[in-house]
Amino acid sequence: MTETLVVGAGVAGLVLARELVLQGRTVRVLEATDRAGGQIARHEVAGIPLDSGAEAFATRGGTVRAYLERLGLADRIVAPLDAPAWLHARDGVTVPLPRVSLMGIPSAPLAEDVVRVVGRRAAWRGMLDALLPGPRGANAASLGALVRARMGDGILERLVAPVVEGIHSKHPDDLPVSAAPGLVHAMLQENSLARAVTRLRIDAPAGSLVAGLEGGMATLVDALLAELDRYGVPVEYGVRVAEVHPDHVVLAADPDADPATLRIGEDGEPIPDLRHGEIVVAAPGLVDPADGRPAVTTATHLVTLVVNAPELADSPRGTGVLVARGTAVRARALTHLSAKWAWVREAAAGREVLRLSYESAPEVDEALRDASALLGVLLTRAQLVDSAVTTWQRAARIAAPESIPLVGEQISGTGLAAVIDHAHRTAEELGARAREQESL
Ligand SMILES: Cc1cc2nc3c(=O)[nH]c(=O)nc-3n(C[C@H](O)[C@H](O)[C@H](O)COP(=O)(O)OP(=O)(O)OC[C@H]3O[C@@H](n4cnc5c(N)ncnc54)[C@H](O)[C@@H]3O)c2cc1C
């Protein structure tokens, strides 16, 4: 039987490797860095073990929950604090987000909590949604275009954009409609975007849209690695792949070097060559997109602050605050981790844990200032116990090439729900294909 080589030990590569080995395949995983998990990682701030990347998963469709249950993690799944997130609006005022909304799209554009954010004029424009023909906007190229067509610019820019940017680090104009699964389908059935939101929220009541794992999402990586270990799947660290071909990969000569540079190294450097039966790529940037459009990566910078601030003990801004553009605050979002997750609160032992995200690297003092503005509580250097800054590169989606199977967020879209579901399905398809070939 041929060996399957999985390139990249992020969650996509780990899930794929596990599913393939459960089908009886021989699998080997190559990882460029010295650890598995990719954008799921753990760090310690003030001695508190925290997620430094992804910290929650979307519960829609139940796929991640079902997968965690299969891994024996059912009893570690936890719900966040059931309180609305807040929005730091364009006028600098911080208000709770409308209770019934989906990615900021309101179910009742004229509700007082919507008017407070967008103003009465934009809210009335939002009401037009109920009068427009049902299919208007259904073929929109982006979530932004859909909302603009149905509810107008005001609701899009003042409400939906800050929420989407806080979650996806992208403007809704750059996000496919599929990022809100089932939304267009529900809109066509309800003849209204607002009613579609109500319907989807009835299926997934407030507070149940995301969940986490006690001990953090890094617990998922621990569980997947334990499974691979149990089934004898080797994960080789410090092995950077420079090139992928349908039947072999070319390894980078120096695992710490930039792969782009190593491509150039082809002409001089001694590059080991590896021949294998089947290769699946679970790492970004290695395969040329089918449409030739270059892959884009964006950086996200996170600042984690551990502070002594008893005023924050009763979670004045729920799970956190999303930030509209054009205010004095440069952070895109703040998550009050010790309010959101009971396990963080317990580990923090009376201190508060905050996480702010930025598009370009911030100073800790700026993060303290932004946190003060967003939480309405003055936080000073003297209250700071510890801090950490982490930078992540996120790969945008590309058009899938035919030649080499690909998993991971550049093909499935970002977020653990999309990535895990796609990797799982890909493993099943590869298994079915292999069985078919073997029976010939
Ligand atoms: C700060 C942050 C917060 C997030 N929060 C959430 C959240 O709360 N909920 C959610 O659902 N999603 C969240 N996400 C998104 C989610 O984490 C990702 O969509 C998901 O983890 C991507 O997994 P992946 O396996 O596709 O890619 P990655 O995690 O990027 O894994 C790719 C792996 O491939 C390795 N690799 C790269 N190049 C090579 C090479 N040349 N050779 C060998 N190996 C290579 C990398 O080192 C890495 O280990 C967040 C992301 C970030 C950055």
pLDDT in tens, 94-141: 998 888 889 999 999 999 999 999 999 999 999 999 999 999 999 999
Residue position matching structure tokens 């753990």: 42
CATH architecture, domain defined by 3-38+217-295+396-439: 3-Layer(bba) Sandwich (3.50)
Residue whose CA is at the smallest distance from ligand 1 atom 18? 415
| pLDDT of res. 128 | 97
Bin 76: left if φ > 0, else alpha if -120 < ψ < 50, else beta: alpha
- State if residue 319 touches ligand 1 by the CB under 6 angstroms criterion: no
Of residues 394 and 329, more confidently modeled: 329
The residue type found at 115 is: V
368's tokens: 């303290």
pLDDT digits (tens, 9 = 90+) for 317-356: 999 999 988 889 999 999 999 999 999 999 999 999 999 9
| pLDDT of res. 206 | 52
Q: SS3 of 378, please?
A: coil
What value does the mean pLDDT take over residues 198-225?
87
- State if residue 30 touches ligand 1 by the CB under 6 angstroms criterion: yes
Domain 100-204 bears CATH identifier 1.10.20.140: no
Distance of alpha carbon 162 from alpha carbon 325, whole angstroms: 7
Q: What is the 3-state secondary structure (H, E, C) of 404-428?
A: CCECCHHHHCCCHHHHHHHHHHHHH
- State if residue 306 touches ligand 1 by the CB under 6 angstroms criterion: no
Q: Probe ligand 1: pick from 16, 39, 77, max atoms within 8 Å of CB?
A: 39
| pLDDT of res. 251 | 83
Point out the ligand 1 atom lying closest to the alpha carbon of residue 413. Answer: 19
| pLDDT of res. 263 | 38
What value does the mean pLDDT take over residues 391-406?
84
> How do the domains of the chain map onto residue ranges?
3-38+217-295+396-439, 73-97+206-215+297-395, 100-204
Residue whose CA is at the smallest distance from ligand 1 atom 1? 53
| pLDDT of res. 278 | 84
Bridge partner list, 358: 301
Q: Which CATH number fits domain 73-97+206-215+297-395: 3.40.50.300, 3.50.50.60, 3.90.660.20, 3.40.1050.10?
A: 3.90.660.20
349's tokens: 């032992």
| pLDDT of res. 262 | 37
| pLDDT of res. 43 | 97
Mean pLDDT of all residues belonging to the chain: 89
- State if residue 155 touches ligand 1 by the CB under 6 angstroms criterion: no
DSSP 189-239: HHTSHHHHHHHHHHHS-TT-SEEEETT-THHHHHHHHHHHHHTT--EEES-
Distance of alpha carbon 378 from alpha carbon 317, whole angstroms: 14
pLDDT digits (tens, 9 = 90+) for 265-286: 344 443 444 455 688 999 998 8
| pLDDT of res. 270 | 38
| Cβ atoms 79, 208 nearer than 8 A | yes
| Closest by CA position to 87, among listed 324, 433, 414, 406 | 324
Intrachain domains 3-38+217-295+396-439 and 100-204 with the same fold: no
- State if residue 334 touches ligand 1 by the CB under 6 angstroms criterion: no
Residue whose CA is at the smallest distance from ligand 1 atom 51? 54
Backbone angles phi, psi at 260, to 5 degrees: -65, -40
Work out the pLDDT band at 246, boundaries 50, 70, 90: confident
